[in-house]
Amino acid sequence: MSSPAATSVAAGEPVAAAETPRRPRKRRGPGAVTRPGLTPLLLLSPAGLVITALTIVPIGYLIYLSFTNAGQKMLFTGTYDIVGLRQYRDILHDREFWRSFVRTILFTAAMVAGSVVVGMGVAQLLGKIGTGFRYAVTVVLIFAWAMPNVASSMVWGWLFQPGYGVANWLLTQTHLFGDVTATNWANSPRLAYACIWMLIVWQAVPFIALTLNAAQTQVDPAYYEAARLDGASEWRVYWTITLHFLRPTLLLITILSVIWDFNVFNQIWLISNGGPNGATSTLGIYAYRNAFVSFHFGVGAAISVVTTLLLLVLTAFYIRSLIKAGEDL
């Protein structure tokens, strides 16, 4: 008995070539992982090049410079020697370094506490005033926050100048402290700290107030109505409900404020130059004086590296808080 293929050949019909079996295509489900390709890398490469050129390379050179004795000789001859960890050993045995470190910690704590407390008060005020006044205050806060800190520091210094400073004249008119028109705030450690503290708090309050006010508007008004129906006072409502919902935002703002205030330099340098007698010299001022006043670039680089390591610890807390806040959503 002949096969069908033989029958078709005998009949003169063309025989189709043997078809190779095809593998069925795998359908990608919604959770399938696909290769991203080179497109994301090409899109991110401009930002990556900028970050590398402006951040990674300078930090790498700073770390390298901290292991050298680069100083004024390098400016003229371009030569320096590798000294290893000697710069770090010298600054860790320097009393002025530890004094500057303690000043930085205490001053940062004072600035952060003042900024957060005043910012919370302004945020609460924004929720109590009318719409027109709220818009006006918001615009003023944005303008104050957008002003460059160098320009605002110079204007602030003029306000407290002896002889013609507006702040000294206003304080004299109150008759609370006598005649203070000739008072030089930069010549007194306490007055210099107070002047710098007020400046930094004034610059930090807009961001904190607007951020907290935005977070406060997301709280369901039903919580406030239920608390007031139960007879809770306004302070109790704020402490129990508002602060409870603002806790994640407050934590992130506090950590950010610590990082920013730890790095404060322009305001201190333009107001008091780290004086009088180094009384307002923080780690930033201490590093600047060593690097660009005494021309000990290696020492200044080592101080900057130590400061960066301290900030990395704070940044780790910040990132951990961001991740935790994202998980709580």
How would you class 183 by CB atoms within 10 Å of its CB: exposed for 0-12, middle for 13-18, buried for 19 or more?
Answer: buried
CA–CA separation, 282 and 169 (whole Å)? 30
Helices and strands of the chain, counted as H and E runs: 16, 0
pLDDT digit string, tens, across residues 47-67: 889 988 888 998 899 999 999
pLDDT digit string, tens, across residues 244-253: 888 888 888 9
When mean pLDDT is compared across 8-22, 176-190, 236-250, the lowest value belongs to: 8-22
DSSP label of 1? -
CA–CA separation, 44 and 234 (whole Å)? 50
Q: Is 216 strand, coil or helix?
A: helix
Give the pLDDT band of residue 276 (cuts 50, 70, 90): confident
DSSP 158-209: HHT-TTT-HHHHHHHHHTSS---TT--GGGSHHHHHHHHHHHHHHHHHHHHH
Distances (CA, A) of 90 to 184, 285, 299: 35, 18, 8
CB 262 within 8 A of CB 101: no
CA angle at 94 for the pair 195 and 187, rounded to the nearest 5° = 25
Strand partners, 68: 82
Strand partners, 82: 68
User: Helices 57-65 & 297-328, crossing angle to 10 degrees?
Assistant: 130
pLDDT score of 9 more than 50: no
Candidate ranges 169-178, 207-216, 244-253; pick with highest mean pLDDT: 207-216
Q: Is 82 strand, coil or helix?
A: strand
CA–CA separation, 72 and 161 (whole Å)? 35
Q: Which long-range CB contacts under 8 A does 90-96 form with residues at least 24 apart?
A: 90/299, 90/302, 91/299, 91/302, 91/303, 91/306, 96/278, 96/281, 96/286
Give the pLDDT band of residue 7 (cuts 50, 70, 90): very low
Please, what is the average pLDDT of the chain?
84
Give the pLDDT band of residue 1 (cuts 50, 70, 90): very low
Give me the residue label for tokens 């370094």.
97
CA–CA separation, 276 and 190 (whole Å)? 10
| Res 194: pLDDT | 93
Domains of the chain plus CATH, in order, are: 94-295 (1.10.3720.10)
Give the pLDDT band of residue 206 (cuts 50, 70, 90): very high
Give the pLDDT band of residue 8 (cuts 50, 70, 90): very low
- What pTM does this model have? 0.79
CA angle at 183 for the pair 181 and 188, rounded to the nearest 5° = 160
Provide mean pLDDT across the span 215-236: 87
Residue with more model confidence, 316 or 113: 113
pLDDT score of 75 more than 60: yes
Give the pLDDT band of residue 225 (cuts 50, 70, 90): confident
| Res 22: pLDDT | 58
